[in-house]
């Protein structure tokens, strides 16, 4: 536009002056505005699922984390089954190492035996260990028995269930350390046995000699690991879970003499019950053996199998630590 004067038109545009609203009109107008705002709020409230923080989120406020979680978090996936094993992935010519639940709870039986023998579930009060004295002797009649490598899913002709670093000998030494840490006077005795031949008779000589020098021994714990297989020759790894950790399942072995269970049975039953109160799925059925297992000796001899050759050493370690805790709690004076 230029700065030249503009001629007035013959018909001037009328000046319209805003009319003042009367009091009644203002009230009607105010109610109308309130109604519109209320309608908008109701609509937004419904769309936000009834959550006020979601309703006023457009004002810059942060929505509650609870609402956000409900809207954005998916339901957790199912817990991984520790017994899952896909047999179809087994390489040709190999045998599987299958995780299994061999608990007494699962099998529905407390004892297992291949002989005709009378067994009582009578328990007995456990003898207390004296403070400040070596009172528990740990041994391995078969110290060469070993556990398998971590995450081993199958095995072939080159598989060995003996030797190496992950043996029951190593585990027994750890069990001894755990008991000492819990205030139990424990000591590990290396029997120097290298084969199963005459192993129990050799162990008996060593134990008796040790007991002559250590009269305060109350318990002898003979640590083993078992071996379990299915009808196809696949090895079974008996495991269970607690607080996200994998444990090798355990079993007690009770010897017999003259078709009667050894004097260790009542003490074994007591330990079984104490473990069952805390961790029932850890226990496999108690095995009744036709051999004496040196349980004719005095003091009480407890023969304990932790897992099998198909268990990992770490799962056996977890179990040994748990057993040490239960045992110490039961016998500590």
CATH of the domain at 178: 3.40.630.40
Asked if 134 and 274 sit in the same domain, the reply is yes
Residues 168 and 260 in one domain: yes
Q: Evaluate whether residue 8 is within a structural domain.
A: no
Residues 61 and 103 in one domain: no
Cβ partners under 8 Å of residue 260, min gap 6: 117, 118
Tell me the pLDDT tens digit for each residue of 205-246: 999 999 999 999 999 999 999 999 999 999 999 999 999 999
- Do 145 and 32 lie in a common domain? no
The answer to whether 110 and 104 have CB atoms below 8 angstroms apart is: yes
Which contacts (CB < 8 Å, 24+ apart) does range 108-116 have?
A: 109/285, 110/272, 110/285, 110/286, 111/285, 111/286, 111/287, 111/288, 112/285, 112/286, 112/287, 112/288, 113/287, 113/288, 113/289, 114/290, 115/256, 115/259, 115/288, 115/290, 116/259
Specify if 52 maps to a domain.
yes
Strand order in the sheet with 245-248: 154-155, 95-100, 235-242, 245-248
**267 and 128 together in one domain:** yes
DSSP string, 197-226: TTHHHHHHHHHHHHHHH-TT--EEEEEEEE
Q: What is the pLDDT of residues 95-139, one digit of tens each?
A: 999 999 999 999 999 999 988 888 999 999 999 999 999 999 999
Asked whether residue 47 falls in the same domain as residue 116, the answer is no
According to the model, what pLDDT value does residue 259 have? 83
Q: How far is CA 65 from CA 53, 70, 72, 151, in A?
A: 10, 8, 10, 40
pLDDT of residue 8: 38
Q: Looking at residue 160, what is its pLDDT?
A: 83
Residue 122 shares a structural domain with residue 207: yes
- 267 in the same domain as 174: yes
pLDDT at 131: 92
Say if residues 216 and 159 touch (Cβ distance below 8 Å): no
| Beta carbons within 10 angstroms of residue 24's beta carbon | 8
Q: Looking at residue 25, what is its pLDDT?
A: 54
Number of domains in the chain: 2
Give the pLDDT of residue 208. 98
CA 211/CA 68 separation, integer angstroms? 68
**Can you give the residue range of the structural domain that contains 135?**
95-331
The reply to whether 237 and 187 lie within a common domain is yes
pLDDT at 158: 77
Residues 195 and 141 in one domain: yes
29 and 161 share one domain: no
Domain contains 138: yes
Residue 11 maps to a domain: no
Question: How far is CA 81 from each of CA 51, 84, 134, 244, 307, rounded to the nearest angstrom?
Answer: 38, 6, 43, 11, 19
7 within a domain of the structure (yes/no): no
Same domain assignment for residues 43 and 126 = no
The verdict on whether omega for the bond into residue 218 sits within 30 degrees of 0, i.e. cis, is no
Asked if residue 208 belongs to a domain, the reply is yes
Residues of the chain with pLDDT under 50: 1-22, 52-77
Q: How far from 52 is each of 40, 66, 69, 73, 312, CA to CA, in Å?
A: 14, 12, 16, 20, 54
Look at residue 32 and tell me if it is in a domain.
yes
State the SS3 of 145-193: EECECCCCCEECCCCCCECCCCEHHHHHHHHHHHHHHCCCCEEECCCCC
The pLDDT of residue 118: 84
| Burial (0-12, 13-18, 19+ Cβ within 10 Å), 126 | middle
Return the percent helix, strand and coil in the chain, to nearest 5. Answer: 35, 20, 45
């Amino acid at each position: 536009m230029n700065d030249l004067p503009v001629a007035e038109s013959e018909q001037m545009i009328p000046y319209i002056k805003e009319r003042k609203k009367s009091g009644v009109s203002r009230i009607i107008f105010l109610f109308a505005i309130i109604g519109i705002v209320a309608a908008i709020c109701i609509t937004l409230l419904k769309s936000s699922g009834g959550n006020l923080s979601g309703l006023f989120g457009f004002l810059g406020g942060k929505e509650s984390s609870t609402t956000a979680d409900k809207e954005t978090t998916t339901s957790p996936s199912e817990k991984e089954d520790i017994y899952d094993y896909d047999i179809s992935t087994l390489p040709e010519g190999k045998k599987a190492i299958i995780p299994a639940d061999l608990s007494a709870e699962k099998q529905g039986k407390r004892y297992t035996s291949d002989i005709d023998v009378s067994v009582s579930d009578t328990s007995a009060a456990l003898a207390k260990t004296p403070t400040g004295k070596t009172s528990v002797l740990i041994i391995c009649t078969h110290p060469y028995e070993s556990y398998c490598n971590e995450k081993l899913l199958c095995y072939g002709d080159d598989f060995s269930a003996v030797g190496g670093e992950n043996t029951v000998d190593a585990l027994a030494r750890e069990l001894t350390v755990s008991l000492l840490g819990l205030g139990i006077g424990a000591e590990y005795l290396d029997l120097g046995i290298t084969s199963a031949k005459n192993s129990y008779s050799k162990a008996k000589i060593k134990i008796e000699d040790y007991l002559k020098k250590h009269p305060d021994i109350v318990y002898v714990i003979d640590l083993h690991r078992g071996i379990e297989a299915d009808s196809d020759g696949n090895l079974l790894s008996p495991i269970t879970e607690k607080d996200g950790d994998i444990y090798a399942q355990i079993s007690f072995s009770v010897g017999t003499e003259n078709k009667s269970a050894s004097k260790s049975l009542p003490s074994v039953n007591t330990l079984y019950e104490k473990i069952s109160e805390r961790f029932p799925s850890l226990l496999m059925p108690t095995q009744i053996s036709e051999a004496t297992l040196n349980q004719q000796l005095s003091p009480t001899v407890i023969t304990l199998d932790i897992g099998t050759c198909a268990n990992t050493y770490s799962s056996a370690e977890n179990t040994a630590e748990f057993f040490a805790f239960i045992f110490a709690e039961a016998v500590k004076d």
